[in-house]
Each structure stands twice: as C-alpha cells, then as structure tokens.
Structure 1
C-alpha cells in the first residue's frame, strides 16, 4: 500500500482556480518564452535532429500520450532518445524498474540510443515540448505529465498533481529528480502547487538551466 494512501487531500482546488492573475500572467510568459526558446535554440535543435537521424535513420521526434490538467490527455513531443521499438520492450523490462510506484525508469535502459544517452543526461530531449507549451497543453513549470497507465494507479492524493497544467520542468526535476521515489515526487509537486508564483517559477527555470549544464542524475 502506498505510504500516502491514507492522507487526506491537502489542496483547495477552488483556491487554485481562483488565481486568475497568476495563471494569466504565467500563460503569457509561457507563450513568449517558449517561442523565444525555439528561435534561440533552433541551431542546437537542428544539430540534435541530424544526429538522431544519422544514428539509425529512424524518426527524429517521439510523440506520447500524456495526462494533463484535470485528466485531459494530449500528445507530448520529445526528441527520440530510444530505439524505434522501445515501447514494445517495456513489458520485458518491468521487473528492472528503478523507481517505485506507477512510474517506469531504468538507470541502464538498454533501449536508449547513443545520442539518446547524451540528450537525456542534459534534458535536451525535452526541447520539443516548447511546442506543447505554445499550444497550451503544458507550461514551462509544473508537475511532470504522467502516462495514462500511471494515472490508473493513482490514489486521490496523487491525483492532486492533475489540478494544474503540467510542466516541462518542475520542483522535482530541478531538485531531487531520480534521487527520490514516486511518493516523494508527488510530495514535491504538491509543495510546488502550494507555493506556485512567478518568482518561484523563475527560480525553478534558472535551476533547470543549471541542470542542463551540470546534470543532476537524470536518466
């Protein structure tokens, strides 16, 4: 049984919805920051695309259905960092999961390509998510968008992560990342939602830039 299963919901959903000014300012900032990010980083993204294509001639981008705000699903974009048939290998690798709870992650995942190791280590595989931010499916900062299969295993406490728009980065990614388990990740997301504000978001973005340069255990 999950450690937090018996905890009552801590968040006031109506209070979160009532923060119109914050959410409006955040949406405007997200749109312009993501647009500028695509323009400024386009040479880097082009180089990554060439390296991915040249390694195994497979697709450059990877699309995956994720769960966003209020349980709404959307297609999340990433640079492909795994072999083309990676999704079909999950069932065979389930027992080697290095993260507790609904998530599946492996430190030495055999499905990852050579260029994939590098772009995942530096979180560069996430850059196409700027498109999700522009579309409004995601924010620059927020909880990690889960897979539908993960949400099926969520407790009511865990589902509080879905009260807000998911992010490209968040408090979990900018601090502990894969050093903690699922329950701790949920706690960090709840903490973020409680403290959310433009200055806190900016702090997380700055921390994330530092992590891109000096990785914090991502895999």
Structure 2
C-alpha cells in the first residue's frame, strides 16, 4: 500500500524507544514493529523529526507474502505455458513425419515427375500387318513404355520408405556430430582439470622438471666406488 507522502505521529511505545535511549529498547521496538504494525520508512527530504513523521507502506510481512505468492503463480503459469508450447511442437513434428502426412506432401511433386518421365519414355507400337505374311509387323504410332509404367508404380509404393530413409540418414549425421562435440567437450574438460591440478598449491612445474632432470643425470653419471681400500685415509697410510 503506497503511503502517498503521508505523515503520522509515532505510537507512544515507539516514541519511548528513542535512538538516544537504551539500545535494548530500540531493538525491542524494532521487533514489535516488524510483528505487529506496518513497516515504517523515514523520508530523508522531510523537515519533520524522527518523532513527527513516518511513511507507512503497509505491513511488511503481508506485502512480502503477497509478492511471493504472486511470483509463484507467475512462475507456475510460465512453466505451464512452456510445457504447452513444447507439447504443441511435439505434436507438430509427429504430424510432419506421419506416413499419411508425408505421402500427402510428396504426392504432388512425385506425380509431376512421373508424368514427365512417362512422356519421355515412349516406344514404338508394333502391330502385325493385316492380311500380311506370318511374322510381318508394322509400326502404328507411339505408346507409353510398359517398363516405365511399372517403375512409376514401384516408386509410388516406395516413396514413403525413401523419405524415412532420408530422415534416418540426417538423424545419423546429427548423432555423429553431437557425439563428436561431446568428445571435444570431454577432452576440453579433462584438459581444464589437468591444468587446474597444475595450478594447485604444491611443487611447481619447474621444480618437478628439475628433479626429473637431476634423477636422469644421476643415472647417467658413473658412480663412485665404495671400496674402502681405495679411500684417501687408507691410501695415505700406506705411504
């Protein structure tokens, strides 16, 4: 509830909890203010003193509960709308790959293409010569190729299967691309983990390299004999 820049007199129990008084009185007054009466905000631009003017914005807890309830209702409605939109999208996609719907889409261009093929696949019509010799034939115009007609029926029967095969090829390509992308993400993640391990507190990479080089040099260099007969004190004592 908006205050509309209205100023009211503070209650007596709140006036007794003056900021210049005991701190415990102020704390008790604030607790009572939050529980029993509306939240109070001071207007800094006002010339009124603390005891003269306050702005009442309605009960704080009630307003917060109402706002939280409205926000929850908004989120629920938004989620319901999103689910409804996804369901409509799923129904649309299912309708697009339905065999009958797919045949309806491919029938018109398929019929046009079949007509073009049949028109270009004509053969000469061979007929026997009337009152002619046995086996004597003649040509009587053009006719549509029976082979082309049979193939056109086969193509019509297999058109939907061809369409589903094309869909499966595209889906397989998408699956391969997604798998490749997932592998790249896994490699990048493992590289990030390894780099993070190298940046953790502990021996630096340079120190590890130095130790490895030192160990390799120790293995490569000849070892000093530990035979005491050739030690310096023994040799000098023999002189």
TM-score (norm 1): 0.17
Higher relative contact order (CA 8 A, sep 6+): 1
**Larger C-alpha radius of gyration, 1 or 2?**
2
Greater share of residues in helix: 2
TM-score (norm 2): 0.16
